[in-house]
Amino acid sequence: MVLADLGARLHGALNQFSKSSSIDDAAIDALLKELCAALLESDVNVKLVAQLRAKVKAKKSLEEAEKASGREVNKKNVVQKLVALVDPGTEPYKPVKGKVNVLMAVGIQGAGKTTTCTKLAVHYQRRGFRTCLVCADTFRAGAFDQLKQNATKAKIPFYGSYTETDPVAIASLGVEKFRKERFDVIIVDTSGRHKQESELFEEMVSISNAVKPDMTIMVLDASIGQAAEGQSRAFKDSADFGAIIVTKLDGHAKGGGAISAVAATKTPIIFLGTGEHLNDLEKFTPQPFISKLLGMGDIQGLMEHMQDMAMADPDRQKNLAKKLEQGKFSIRDWREQLSNIMGMGSLSKIASMIPGMPQGMMEGGEDEAAAKLKRMIFITDAMRTDELDSDGLIFFSFDKAGNPTGLNKRARRVAQGSGTSVREVEELLAQARMMAGMARQAGGKNGWMSAMQKMQ
Ligand code: GDP
């Protein structure tokens, strides 16, 4: 089951649970049954699934004893356990600016090392690191050409050789050259083999001894599912590594299995590869990952994308950054972000970061995502100036004590005017409010941009 399907099923099960008339044992059992079936189909290890089930049940009786409010507590509990399933509970190395950081990629041939190295280089370069690539893969014919082509496209300096056949020599020379030039991030791509062979491990150790990486990253193909646990343990026994990138999560049925299997080895997953293009690399953090999978969005990830855009087009975003720095964010600002997103490509991926847009809904791909985003823009088009410039509270009625009692007439007018539903207007207002909340949190004295930079 591809991740989007898994997300849609988990989301569906939780929704069903929310709608059930009572939250007795039968409703909780039905929820658990559906969750477990979805996880097993995604190749998550049976033992891990059984543990999740037991933990949800144990916590449930505890909550009952405390007479906590049933439905929300149970849902939160399930989400927490899903997060724990993919959380290795360890922190990876974080490259530091102003220092030379050497990163080395290892893995089986075809796992996606070369592609991932360039994606990583692009990621760090966008965040202001001076980044370069070294191709020490002398085993696979064409590896250097591939890296050269990708690096040239992304305008990233690279080093490699058509004549030198010793990968240790190339790696040493390349890293030495770039060290002297004071690059911040040097990424070394190494050879793979068809399977885990002793020669591969020996070569990895020799290169590692020669270039002394700050972080060795194992690149792992998601299609092997729960076998990822065995593969990463075998690599770890021979050549220790500090982080993992799981690739090909865009199309493979066993993605959930691979991620949870890796998490079980307590090695931090730092990124997920989600396509063949250079931008198809997503930062992995357990909580936002599950949140996005369940259609609850990933506001932090969205903010990061907005920061990327700010780097690509500083003028357009300068105003926004200033507003966010002051902790302000209006519906008009949200509209501007939505239209920027429309121009960014890979809509379905970005759209899934917006709360209320389950991945499953994006199965229709780009067209469906574009249609949904367009409807959101239509909603803002039907708003009046004062409404657009507001924080959204203008759409609510309040009781005497100042508590919101529900949406007012404005919301219905906007829904009618835009050919959408009140529910959709409400969703958009909630999104704008969440963005404003995030802006307020990240704003303050250090400013939005520096807060974003700290998140890297
Ligand atoms: P290497 O042998 O480990 O260096 O692997 P490559 O980087 O050459 O990748 C092998 C194949 O996997 C290539 O066709 C890549 O385009 C493809 N690939 C790499 N990462 C991803 C990904 O995240 N998603 C998809 N769909 N394909 C990928």
Provide the residue count of the chain.
Answer: 456
How far is Cα 331 from Cα 343, in angstroms, rounded to an integer? 19
Q: How far is the CA of 163 from the centre of ligand 1 (A)?
A: 25
Nearest protein CA to atom 2 of ligand 1, as residue: 110
Question: Which of 160, 163, 164, 139 lies closest to 150 in space, CA to CA?
Answer: 160
- Those residues whose C-beta lies under 8 Å from the C-beta of residue 67, and which sit 6 or more positions away, are none
Radius of gyration of the chain (CA): 24
Question: Which of 55, 49, 5, 46 lies closest to 293 in space, CA to CA?
Answer: 5
CA separation, residue 274 to residues 61, 249, 367 (Å): 39, 5, 18
Residue 406 pairs in a beta bridge with: 397
Nearest protein CA to atom 6 of ligand 1, as residue: 112
Query: pLDDT tens string for the chain (456 positions)?
Result: 567 677 777 878 887 777 776 667 777 888 888 888 888 887 888 888 888 888 877 765 555 544 445 666 677 778 888 888 888 888 889 999 889 999 999 988 889 999 999 999 998 988 889 999 999 888 877 888 898 999 999 899 999 988 888 899 999 999 999 999 999 999 999 987 766 677 778 888 899 999 999 999 999 998 888 888 888 888 887 777 789 999 998 876 678 888 888 888 888 999 999 888 888 888 888 888 888 777 776 777 777 766 666 666 666 666 666 776 677 778 888 888 788 777 765 666 677 777 766 554 445 566 777 788 888 899 999 999 999 998 888 998 888 888 878 889 999 999 999 999 998 898 888 888 877 777 676 655 444 444 444 443
Residue 238 pairs in a beta bridge with: none
Q: How far is the CA of 108 from the centre of ligand 1 (A)?
A: 11
Q: How far is the CA of 115 from the centre of ligand 1 (A)?
A: 6
Check pocket membership of 349 for ligand 1, CB cut-off 6 A: no
* 332-365: b (≥16 Cβ within 10 Å) or e: bbbbbbbebbbeeeebbbbbbbbbbbbbbbbeee
Check pocket membership of 247 for ligand 1, CB cut-off 6 A: yes
CA separation, residue 136 to residues 113, 184, 226 (Å): 11, 19, 29
Phi/psi at 213 (5° precision): -65, 150
Nearest protein CA to atom 26 of ligand 1, as residue: 275
Check pocket membership of 107 for ligand 1, CB cut-off 6 A: yes
Check pocket membership of 251 for ligand 1, CB cut-off 6 A: yes
Check pocket membership of 255 for ligand 1, CB cut-off 6 A: no
Domains of the chain, earliest start first:
3-85 (1.20.120.140), 101-293 (3.40.50.300), 299-454 (1.10.260.30)
Q: How far is the CA of 110 from the centre of ligand 1 (A)?
A: 6
Check pocket membership of 114 for ligand 1, CB cut-off 6 A: yes
Question: Which of 310, 379, 305, 317 lies closest to 345 in space, CA to CA?
Answer: 305
Q: How far is the CA of 4 from the centre of ligand 1 (A)?
A: 20
Check pocket membership of 372 for ligand 1, CB cut-off 6 A: no
Q: How far is the CA of 114 from the centre of ligand 1 (A)?
A: 7
Decide if 140 contacts 192 (C-beta within 8 A).
yes
Decide if 450 contacts 440 (C-beta within 8 A).
no
How far is Cα 346 from Cα 343, in angstroms, rounded to an integer? 9
How far is Cα 360 from Cα 160, in angstroms, rounded to an integer? 42
Other Cβ atoms within 10 Å of 155 Cβ, number? 9
CA separation, residue 413 to residues 260, 422, 425 (Å): 46, 9, 10
User: Which atom of ligand 1 is the closest one to the Cα of 281?
Assistant: 23
Check pocket membership of 167 for ligand 1, CB cut-off 6 A: no
Q: Where are the beta strands (DSSP E) in 191-332?
A: 215-221, 243-247, 269-273, 281-283
Nearest protein CA to atom 20 of ligand 1, as residue: 112
How far is Cα 322 from Cα 326, in angstroms, rounded to an integer? 6
Check pocket membership of 142 for ligand 1, CB cut-off 6 A: no
| Amino acid occupying residue 180 | K
